[in-house]
Amino acid sequence: MILSGENVSIKNLVATLLGVCLLMISSNTPAELTVEISKSVESNVSIAIVPFGGTQPGENLGSIVAADLHRSGRFKILPDSQMPERPHTPDEVHFDAWKSLGQDNLVIGQVKQTGTDQYSAEFQLFDAVRGTQLVSTSLSFASSDSRRTAHRIADLIYKQLTGEDGAFATRIAYVSVSSADGAKGRRYMLQVADADGYNPQTIVGSPEPIMSPAWSPDGKKIAYVSFENKRSAIYMQNLASKDRQKVSELPGINGAPAWSPDGTQLAMTLSKDGNPEIYIMTLANRSLRRVTDHFAIDTEPTWTKDGSQLVFTSDRGGKPQLYSVSSNGGQPERITYEGDYNARGVFSPDGKSLSLVHGNGGDYRIAVLDIASKQLRVLSSGRLDESPSFAPNGSMILYASQNGKAGLSTVSSNGKVKENLSSSGNEMREPAWSP
């Protein structure tokens, strides 16, 4: 049974429009990136985040916190325009005013300059109903770390209110493609940015395609596929030192690298023996062992949390579907049956579900398969959605979408909130969320 995640009522549409207004008014969004909320469904926990007081080195920290919490799909954010007051310190708060608006929680804060390019952000989270303080913390930062500081504040609030770790201060990797000179002048760049798409840094660039970035479990390295020698090869690059190593450049396909949970092995697709098969490389000695053996396409391996099994895409049944197999090899078992196209499975951090590309009736969407119940739930609503990747806390899924141009989108794992992150110039594809 397929459960659609698109239950947008009029009430929710109003909430969406208010959300857009909130962002238009309060965010000082850089030209390079636009955040567009395309779907928003009312969430249970209401929270008001007052724009922080004091001179901000960049965008208002409170606005960044509000955008982060909204994207998670777990909160109903009060628009700035409906705020009864703009307190920055605890003694300025009148809880009755917030309580009468139905606000469960309130966040206030202020930024102070403490030295040359030295700032401190002090914030408080209150239970607005009881009028009690839940968190009060001060974080110091340099101006270049202003957005990251806001993400850390969002993490602290998220943790306090949900009991789960936040994932706002994490990073994403993706492939950015510029085509200023048309198809012949394409340039492919592997970039790493903040989880909300800001502060992009180029890790490697090439006139030939770059694909399939995969973070090492410790977050220090990225494995990826590059066609810089006019054929595919898998590389592994250290983000801090930029040092990189070629891992595999065998005849045919070298693709779909996936780190084992302990970081010692890399599963990959190789077609050196004639057609695409799943192999596992032990990184210490570069030895290869073959996992699958079938004349059909076998590709896109992903590891179970305990490393004992792999899930991969195969068209051995005629259409691409997901199969699982022991990481020591053996007889694969089909695990998807619904729809005529299921590919690119990735496990959620808790290992209880798989996100995948689900094709049905000509549309390709991001779905989540619950392993225990085998229930498939379609979360995205595009025509050409692909490359799903879970946030490290499992709360959101990042994926590639097509909205006139290839861009990145996030959807909360409960399907309630969907957002597009897109840069004004380049196409963005194949995202991967850091650990």
Q: Name the site residues for another protein (rule: CB under 8 A).
A: 183, 186, 188, 209, 211-212, 227, 230-232, 252-253, 255-256, 269, 271, 275-276, 295-297, 299-300, 313, 315-320, 341, 343-344, 357, 359, 364, 383-384, 386-387, 402, 429-430
CA angle 435, 178, 36 (to 5 degrees): 60
Could you tell me the smallest distance in angstroms from the CB atom of residue 404 to another protein? 8
Give the position of tokens 């850091």. Answer: 434
Give the position of tokens 């990747």. Answer: 389
Could you tell me the smallest distance in angstroms from the CB atom of residue 136 to another protein? 46
Could you tell me the smallest distance in angstroms from the CB atom of residue 271 to another protein? 6
Q: Which is nearer to another protein, 101 or 250 (CB)?
A: 250
Q: Which is nearer to another protein, 27 or 360 (CB)?
A: 360
Burial class from Cβ neighbours inside 10 Å (0-12, 13-18, 19+) for residue 38 reads: middle
- The two tokens of residue 265 are 């092995």
CA distances from 70 to 198, 279, 382 (A): 17, 40, 21
CA distances from 236 to 214, 220, 253 (A): 9, 10, 16
Burial class from Cβ neighbours inside 10 Å (0-12, 13-18, 19+) for residue 357 reads: buried
Nearest CA to 283 among 243, 332, 234, 326?
234
Could you tell me the smallest distance in angstroms from the CB atom of residue 97 to another protein? 49
Could you tell me the smallest distance in angstroms from the CB atom of residue 94 to another protein? 52
Q: Which is nearer to another protein, 200 or 320 (CB)?
A: 320
Could you tell me the smallest distance in angstroms from the CB atom of residue 31 to another protein? 24
Q: Which is nearer to another protein, 36 or 208 (CB)?
A: 208
Could you tell me the smallest distance in angstroms from the CB atom of residue 181 to another protein? 13
CA angle 191, 143, 120 (to 5 degrees): 130
267 with 301: CB under 8 angstroms?
Answer: yes
Q: Which is nearer to another protein, 212 or 393 (CB)?
A: 212
Could you tell me the smallest distance in angstroms from the CB atom of residue 359 to another protein? 6
Give the position of tokens 């990797």. Answer: 173
Could you tell me the smallest distance in angstroms from the CB atom of residue 431 to another protein? 11
Report the distance separating Cα 204 and Cα 424, nearest Å. Answer: 20
Helix axes 10-26, 61-71, angle to 10 degrees: 150
Could you tell me the smallest distance in angstroms from the CB atom of residue 343 to another protein? 4
Q: Which is nearer to another protein, 320 or 332 (CB)?
A: 320
Q: Which is nearer to another protein, 99 or 186 (CB)?
A: 186
Q: Which is nearer to another protein, 110 or 348 (CB)?
A: 348
Q: Which is nearer to another protein, 200 or 388 (CB)?
A: 388
Report the distance separating Cα 234 and Cα 249, nearest Å. Answer: 7
DSSP 63-111: HHHHHHHHHTTSEEEPPGGG-S----SGGG--HHHHHTTT-SEEEEEEE
Residue 149 falls in which region: left (phi positive, over 0), alpha (psi -120 to 50) or beta: alpha
Instruction: State whether the Cα torsion 112-197-32-236 is positive or negative.
Output: positive
- The two tokens of residue 142 are 């340099």
Q: Which is nearer to another protein, 63 or 271 (CB)?
A: 271
